[in-house]
């Protein structure tokens, strides 16, 4: 059997499920092949009822749609709509958290866990902090909600960027004015008969992406820290062996910590633990998937089962009693797979209902009650397990160190960035790379993430990672202090002196905003722009529209971003040229597409060395 993953536990489960006749994501991909060439190139358009239209990439067929739009316009519009969707997804996540923050003191389920950070962020918004925590939380929530509207000239957290970067954005006219406003404007511009200048459309892509990176995503990260605690370094475990055959297993999947935090609390309820034992279980075990898993891993040390392409396989172990989801990156297929076992899929958001799942809707007012309901359901399902279908891969859980927020890194460095600056200047750390993004079944699971990280740290490049990339590197053993042995000599010394791994876990996908904060702070300390730093980004196995928005706000911020999966822009030479070349003249950043992680590492290392030379270090 062809191995679809680099991991022993994943391949063992793929084999098991295939033997049981269950279709998986790789099977469904094969059924779709050959995939539509027009769509892959970005040359299809269905924005109006005169279509759908397509452009012939070979120049022999239609070169314009019914309305007259050519390849450049169609590709740019399609990309813009993807950026709008990605930015909307992360930003709406942030809005949900802000609405919870506004209810602090009025609901029992949630409270402020980091009052110091609450006050610090409130001061950025000009809020007087000489009042109760509840009053500050409400005023901050109200102020943040203004960032979603259209009354302001720019969103608040843009001010965290270096002065040179802000001036550049102002010159280009891409300062985000409001999160919702920029998303709406993209949808307006890409309606038939509005914006038909592809370069102008691409500039709006950058502005909307910045509304996500310095807006919705950054708000989501900051409010999560305020409500659930700012992450600090801690040890935990990862892979499918974190599931327990003799315990009730609840898997937390999705992206928003509002639900998962309540489930974590309910799982330690004495009455529910007693009930679990009465039903024959030795306890209640929690494991995370995707970014909800990253959230509770970072803050509470909850073990991680895996990332995006593990979600069907985790059910196939036969020991998952409930998989509880919120939204984003949840395959509809998990409901079908669950029907083959005793597992119940529980949806919790009115925005994300799944046909065939049980819906238990969570609100700030009922979170405690509903969390206990979910845990009780899992206990009841425990008795329905089918022993003949139970098989947890015969591997040991991998260890990992997690919890590297910007605040935690500053604490490790003694409260100042100076040690990091000194290490970069003297070459102990050649540069910093953010490895982010998803899994894509078109790529052998986690191979590109892990290979890139290994090559970078071998060359004394510090890696910070988020999302599925973070899970990949952890499963490969790169997130323990002992992994410093795999790094170059100089980086190894730095890691050993600080007791940290050479690959630092920065959190979930929205926590890419932590990378922006860290790079902005570093640039400010050095008196340069972000584009001057020996830094880059990579999304080697991306698949989602959110990843397109993330890549766009990194490029808009002045960074080189290497993509391992080609985006649907190759149908337009103009769009391709702008995003991989011309945009560098505007923002200092650009995209490079390189599927081979070995070559991607070479590109990034050369870029870092070029930046070091220009800085004179």
SS3 letters for 569-580?
CCCCHHHHHHHH
Task: Determine the Cα–Cα distance for residues 75 and 252; give it in Å rounded to an integer.
Answer: 37
DSSP letters along 490-504, please? HHHHHHHHHT--SEE
Contacts of 42 (CB under 8 A, 6+ apart): 74, 75, 78, 79, 567, 568, 569, 570, 571, 572, 575
DSSP strand pairing (248-254 vs 320-325)? parallel
Would the annotation count 53 as a binding residue? yes
Would the annotation count 205 as a binding residue? no
E strand residue ranges, 239-396: 248-254, 284-289, 304-306, 320-325, 344-347, 358-359
Would the annotation count 290 as a binding residue? no
Residue 132 has which token pair? 């109760």
Contacts of 41 (CB under 8 A, 6+ apart): 57, 75, 568, 569, 570, 571
Contact (CB, 8 A) for 319 and 384? no
**Cα 7–Cα 10–Cα 12 angle in degrees, nearest 5:** 105
**Number of Cβ within a 10 Å radius of residue 405:** 26
Residue 277 DSSP class: H
Nearest to 332 by CA among 360, 308, 355: 355
**Number of Cβ within a 10 Å radius of residue 106:** 11
Would the annotation count 45 as a binding residue? yes
Contact (CB, 8 A) for 73 and 192? no
Would the annotation count 291 as a binding residue? yes
Would the annotation count 67 as a binding residue? yes
Contact (CB, 8 A) for 418 and 597? no
Would the annotation count 39 as a binding residue? no
Helix (H, G, I), strand (E, B), or coil: what is residue 417?
coil
Stated as kind and residue range, the H or E segment containing 184 is helix 179-189
Contacts of 549 (CB under 8 A, 6+ apart): 82, 83, 85, 86, 87, 90, 208, 209, 212, 213
SS3 letters for 393-412?
CCCCCEEEEECCCHHHHHHH
Half-sphere exposure of 22 (CA within 13 A, CB side): 23
Contact (CB, 8 A) for 252 and 285? no
Contact (CB, 8 A) for 397 and 241? yes
Would the annotation count 48 as a binding residue? yes
- As to burial, measured by CB atoms within 10 angstroms (0-12 exposed, 13-18 middle, 19+ buried), residue 265 is middle
Nearest to 168 by CA among 158, 155, 156, 157: 158
Helix (H, G, I), strand (E, B), or coil: what is residue 464?
strand
Annotated binding site for [Ni-4Fe-4S] cluster: 255, 291, 329, 438, 468, 509
Annotated binding site: 36, 45, 48, 53, 67, 255, 291, 329, 438, 468, 509
Annotated binding site for [4Fe-4S] cluster: 36, 45, 48, 53, 67
């Amino acid at each position: 059997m062809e191995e679809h993953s680099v991991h022993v536990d994943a391949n063992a489960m793929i084999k098991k499920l295939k033997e049981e006749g269950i279709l998986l994501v790789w099977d469904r991909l094969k059924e779709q092949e050959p995939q539509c060439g027009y769509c892959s190139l970005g040359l299809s358009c269905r924005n109006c009822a005169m279509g759908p239209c397509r452009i012939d990439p070979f120049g022999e067929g239609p070169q314009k749609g019914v309305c007259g739009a050519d390849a450049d316009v169609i590709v740019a519009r399609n990309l813009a709509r993807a950026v709008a969707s990605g930015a909307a997804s992360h930003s709406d996540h942030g809005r949900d958290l802000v609405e919870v923050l506004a209810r602090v003191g009025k609901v029992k389920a949630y409270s402020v866990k980091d009052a110091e950070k609450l006050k610090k962020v409130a001061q950025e918004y000009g809020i007087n902090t000489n009042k109760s925590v509840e009053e500050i939380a409400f005023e901050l929530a109200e102020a943040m909600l203004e960032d979603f509207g259209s009354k302001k000239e720019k969103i608040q957290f843009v001010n965290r960027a270096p002065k040179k970067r802000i001036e550049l954005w102002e010159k280009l006219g891409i300062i985000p004015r409001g999160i919702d406003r920029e998303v709406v404007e993209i949808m307006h511009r890409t309606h038939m008969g509005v914006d038909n200048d592809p370069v102008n459309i691409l500039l709006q892509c950058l502005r909307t992406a910045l509304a996500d990176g310095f807006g919705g995503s950054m708000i989501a990260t900051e409010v999560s820290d305020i409500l659930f605690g700012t992450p600090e370094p801690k040890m935990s475990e990862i892979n499918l062996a974190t599931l327990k055959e003799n315990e009730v297993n609840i898997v937390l999947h999705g992206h928003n910590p509002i639900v998962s935090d309540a489930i974590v609390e309910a799982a330690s309820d004495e009455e529910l633990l007693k009930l679990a034992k009465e039903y024959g279980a030795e306890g209640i075990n929690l494991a995370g998937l995707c970014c909800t898993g990253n959230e509770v891993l970072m803050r509470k040390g909850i073990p991680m089962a895996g990332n995006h392409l593990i979600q069907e396989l985790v059910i196939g172990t036969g020991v998952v009693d409930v998989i509880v989801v919120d939204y984003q990156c949840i395959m509809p297929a998990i409901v079908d797979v669950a029907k083959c076992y005793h597992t119940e899929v529980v949806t919790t958001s009115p925005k994300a209902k799944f046909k065939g799942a049980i819906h238990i809707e969570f609100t700030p007012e009922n979170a405690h009650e509903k969390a206990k309901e979910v845990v009780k359901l899992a206990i009841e399902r425990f008795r329905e397990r089918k022993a003949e279908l139970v098989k947890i891969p015969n591997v040991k859980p991998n260890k990992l160190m997690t919890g590297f927020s910007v605040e935690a890194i500053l604490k490790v460095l003694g409260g100042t960035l100076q040690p990091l600056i000194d290490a970069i200047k003297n070459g102990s750390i050649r540069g910093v790379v953010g490895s982010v993004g998803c899994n894509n079944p078109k790529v052998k699971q986690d191979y590109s993430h892990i290979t890139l990280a290994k090559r970078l740290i071998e060359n004394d490049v510090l890696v910070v990672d988020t999302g599925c990339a973070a899970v990949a590197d952890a499963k490969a053993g790169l997130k323990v202090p002992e992994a410093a042995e795999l790094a170059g000599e100089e980086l190894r010394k730095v890691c050993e002196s600080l007791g940290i791994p050479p690959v630092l876990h920065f959190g979930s996908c929205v926590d890419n905003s932590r990378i922006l904060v860290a790079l902005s702070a570093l640039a400010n300390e050095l008196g340069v722009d972000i584009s001057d730093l020996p830094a880059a980004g990579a999304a080697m196995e991306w698949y989602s529209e959110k990843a397109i928005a993330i890549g766009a706000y990194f490029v808009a911020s002045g960074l080189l971003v290497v993509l391992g999966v080609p985006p649907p822009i190759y149908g337009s030479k103009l769009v391709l040229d702008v995003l991989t070349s011309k945009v560098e003249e505007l923002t200092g950043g650009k995209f490079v597409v390189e599927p081979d992680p070995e070559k991607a590492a070479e590109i990034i290392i050369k870029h870092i060395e070029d930046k070091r030379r220009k800085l004179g270090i």
